[in-house]
């Protein structure tokens, strides 16, 4: 049985040319080698799987090669390259600081640094996960890093640069490895699939690259897992099934339902998603990302931020064109709020369903705005129809104008010409439109719009109504939110005298104010629903502290004591006490 080698090791870069997604760093290292400007201490930082250790090994191999190519690549033929490829090079030492992080480990390394290389020019010491070294180990390493022997080069690698002490950082030439782009990862996976004889769909490789989150090693590990599951035929469906990823089509379908204000369809799709074993939080966060992608796709300049496959990117652009910006922005805000509130919700399914209803209702409100001009347009076109009758009137007047000169009455001819057209046209415009609208009355659409506007304004309410609903909220939550209800019971909400849709609440201190603010949205929704006023708002003010009283005088103290106990005055007289 042939030994299996994982793709992350089998296709590990062995030359600078084969490094993926780190072009700037590769060019810098190659220029340093060709110009003989090598630093003696390098620090490679970046997230996992972006090529830090691979670049360290390639650098160690290249600087000891005795026959470099014009492209500054190792020849793989000299004794140094062959020994390195066989894993028996004495010039390269690797230390895993995660398990060798003590002072003794660093002292042992420092002892080796003194010896010159037997073959080649440099001895290279690669310390991986260097941030795991103890404070004492760092201190023991400082002097060697500051003044290393000419033949020694240190390459430190870490995923957490902020954990390295500044005295170490100041002695290093720092290279920040960036996150590998999805496009580069997908292209490299396609190359490996071709080498392995795997028929992989581009959408499937793109999903794997997304799951790898910018790490080539993670992406290759997932690729091996998918090949073990699907064999030589790697499809999009098999990948999302195995990785338990929610299909993008669900997001597109839900978004279409929102645009069509089809609440039942949106709720049924969510129920199907739950029945397939997916979590509601995953759906909400994914739908939020979907709305973000739609916003990005609306502008060709930002479409590159999608980081999606070709066909999927075209699908995003097509759907984004159907949505107004305001609907996407408001929808994304609703989804973000739902994402934040999900873990604290008691009924999480209801929270997601309510979010979908809000999104559909948002589409209804946005659709109602452009409907108004469309409703008024048809009556205008119908009422404008009599206007063409004006031209026939003009020809009838012109013959009179031609006859008038024959009668030789130029003054009478000149006066009638300007007056008839305004008299004929003006009454037609001013009289016909009101008369027709009075006869026809409001259309069903106009009636619905007026009803919606009236409902949007909300019903009037009084202080007694507010206080009654306030007490109902306290009664409903007195067992769940004891401290909050205690605060709410101490205040008396009142309708603002300045604004109809504003309720004012006065609390004695900022502690009570913060307590109510934490539950603001739930309380506000309850007030709006029970007072039937969608635009209702409330403001919480802190009462002004009373001015401090001046200290009591001795006479005032005596009078206060005398009122409580008249015997005090007798005691004063017996003792002959004076009150200043």
72-116 residue pLDDT tens: 999 888 888 998 888 888 889 999 888 888 898 888 888 888 888
Domain covering 7-176 assigned CATH 3.40.50.300 in the classification: yes
pLDDT of residue 405: 43
| CA–CA distance, 524 with 528 (Å, rounded to integer) | 6
Any idea what the Cα angle at residue 219 is, between residues 216 and 223, rounded to 5°? 135
| Predicted confidence (pLDDT) per residue in 317-359, tens digit | 888 888 888 888 898 999 999 999 998 889 999 999 999 999 9
| pLDDT classification of 386: cutoffs 50, 70, 90 | very low
Domain parsing of the chain, residue ranges: 7-176, 182-243, 248-366, 384-455, 459-542, 551-580
- pLDDT band at residue 417, thresholds of 50, 70 and 90? very low
Q: Which residue has the higher pLDDT, 210 or 377?
A: 210
Pick the residue with more confidence: 52 or 413?
A: 52
Alpha helix (H) residue ranges in 157-309 = 166-169, 182-196, 202-212, 216-230, 236-243, 248-259, 263-275, 280-297
Token reading at 408? 């030789």
What is the pLDDT, as a whole number, of residue 419? 43
Of 181, 226, 192, the C-alpha closest to 7 is: 192
Domains 182-243 and 248-366 share a fold: no
Please report which confidence band the pLDDT of residue 381 belongs to, taking 50, 70 and 90 as the band edges: very low
The average pLDDT across 185-195 equals 90
> 457: part of which helix (H) or strand (E)?
helix 444-457
Among 4-18, 80-94, 427-441, name the one with the lowest average pLDDT.
Answer: 427-441
How many Cβ atoms from other residues are within 10 Å of residue 296's Cβ? Answer: 20
The first and second tokens of residue 470, run together, are 């306030």
Instruction: Pick 410 or 191 by higher pLDDT.
Output: 191
pLDDT band at 452 (very low <50, low <70, confident <90, very high): low
Question: CA-CA distance, 174 to 190, in Å (whole number)?
Answer: 32
| Rounded-to-integer distance, Cα 543 and Cα 63, Å | 74
| Contact in structure between 44 and 156 (CB atoms under 8 Å) | yes
CB contact set of 569 (below 8 Å; sequence gap of 6+): 562
Alpha carbon separation from 429 to 376, 383, 396, 432 (Å, rounded): 16, 8, 20, 6
Of 258-267, 445-454, 489-498, where does mean pLDDT reach its minimum?
445-454
For the chain, the distance separating the N- and C-terminal CA atoms, rounded to the nearest angstrom, is 110
Cβ-based neighbours of 22, under 8 Å, separated by 6 or more: 50, 51, 55, 177, 178, 180
The full 3-state SS of 43-93, as one line of letters, equals EEECCCCCCHHHHHHHHHHHHCCCCCCCCCCCCCCCHHHHHHHCCCCCCEE
DSSP state of 306: G
Comparing CA positions, the residue from 252, 184, 248 lying closest to residue 214 is 184
182-243: which CATH architecture?
A: Orthogonal Bundle (1.10)
Per-residue pLDDT, 387: 44
Percent of the chain residues past pLDDT 70, beyond the cut = 81
Could you tell me whether strands 502-507 and 494-495 are parallel, antiparallel, or unpaired per DSSP bridges?
A: antiparallel
- Angle between helix axes 236-243 and 216-230 (nearest 10 degrees) is 110
pLDDT at residue 517 in the model: 83
Q: What whole-number distance in Å separates Cα of residue 495 and Cα of residue 472?
A: 17
Q: What CA–CA distance (Å, rounded) separates 333 from 325?
A: 12
pLDDT tens-place string over residues 471-482: 888 888 877 787
Residue 454, pLDDT score = 52
Across the chain, mean pLDDT equals 79
Between CA 556 and CA 259 the distance in angstroms is: 75
Domain 248-366 has CATH 1.10.3720.10: no
CATH assignment, 459-542:
3.30.300
């Amino acid at each position: 049985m042939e030994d299996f080698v994982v793709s992350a090791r089998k296709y590990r870069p062995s030359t600078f040319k084969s490094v993926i997604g780190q072009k700037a760093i590769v060019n810098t290292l190659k220029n340093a080698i060709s110009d003989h400007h090598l630093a003696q201490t390098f620090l490679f930082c970046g997230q996992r799987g972006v090529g830090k250790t691979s670049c360290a090994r390639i650098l160690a191999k290249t600087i000891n090669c005795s026959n470099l190519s014009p492209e500054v690549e190792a020849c793989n033929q000299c004794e140094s390259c062959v020994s390195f490829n066989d894993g028996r090079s004495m010039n390269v030492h690797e230390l895993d600081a995660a398990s060798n992080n003590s002072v003794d480990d660093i002292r042992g390394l420092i002892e080796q640094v003194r010896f010159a290389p037997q073959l080649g020019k440099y001895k290279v010491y690669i310390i991986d996960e260097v941030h795991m070294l103890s404070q004492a180990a760092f201190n023991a390493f400082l002097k060697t890093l500051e003044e290393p022997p000419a033949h020694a080069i240190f390459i430190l690698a870490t995923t957490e640069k902020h954990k390295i002490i500044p005295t170490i950082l100041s002695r290093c030439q720092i290279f920040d490895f960036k996150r590998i782009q999805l496009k580069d990862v997908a292209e490299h996976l396609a190359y490996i699939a071709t080498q392995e004889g795997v028929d992989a769909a581009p959408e499937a490789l793109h999903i794997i690259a997304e799951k790898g989150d910018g790490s080539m090693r993670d992406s290759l590990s997932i690729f091996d897992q998918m090949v073990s599951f699907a064999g030589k035929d790697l499809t999009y469906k098999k990948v999302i099934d195995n990785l338990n990823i929610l299909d993008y089509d669900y997001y597109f379908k839900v978004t279409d339902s929102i645009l069509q204000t089809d609440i039942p369809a949106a709720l049924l799709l969510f129920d199907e998603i739950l029945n397939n074993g997916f979590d509601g939080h995953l759906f909400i966060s994914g739908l939020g990302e979907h709305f973000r992608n739609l916003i990005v796709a609306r502008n060709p300049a930002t479409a590159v931020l999608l980081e999606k496959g070709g066909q999927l990117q075209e699908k995003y652009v097509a759907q984004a064109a159907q949505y107004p910006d305001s609907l996407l922005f408001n929808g994304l805000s609703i989804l973000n709020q739902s994402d934040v509130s999900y873990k604290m919700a008691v009924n999480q399914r209801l929270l997601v369903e309510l979010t979908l209803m809000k999104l559909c209702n948002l589409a209804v409100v946005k659709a109602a705005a452009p409907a108004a001009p469309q409703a008024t347009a048809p009556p205008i076109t119908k009422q404008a129809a009599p206007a063409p009758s004006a031209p026939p009137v003009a020809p009838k007047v012109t013959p009179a104008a031609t006859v008038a000169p024959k009668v030789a009455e130029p003054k009478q001819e000149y006066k009638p010409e300007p007056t008839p057209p305004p008299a004929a046209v003006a009454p037609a415009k001013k009289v016909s439109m009101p008369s027709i609208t009075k006869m026809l009355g409001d259309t069903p659409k106009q009636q619905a719009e007026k009803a919606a506007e009236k409902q949007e304004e909300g019903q009037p309410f009084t202080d007694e109504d507010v206080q009654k609903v306030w007490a109902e909220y306290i009664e409903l939550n007195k067992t769940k939110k004891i401290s909050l209800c205690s605060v709410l019971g101490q205040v008396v909400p009142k309708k603002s005298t300045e604004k109809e849709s504003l309720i004012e609440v006065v609390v004695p201190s900022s502690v009570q104010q913060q307590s109510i603010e934490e539950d603001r949205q739930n309380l506000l929704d309850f007030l709006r629903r029970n007072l039937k006023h969608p635009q209702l708002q409330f403001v919480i003010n802190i009462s002004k502290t009373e001015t401090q009283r001046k200290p009591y005088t001795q006479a005032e103290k005596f009078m206060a004591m005398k009122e409580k106990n008249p015997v005090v005055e007798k005691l004063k007289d017996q003792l002959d006490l004076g009150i200043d």
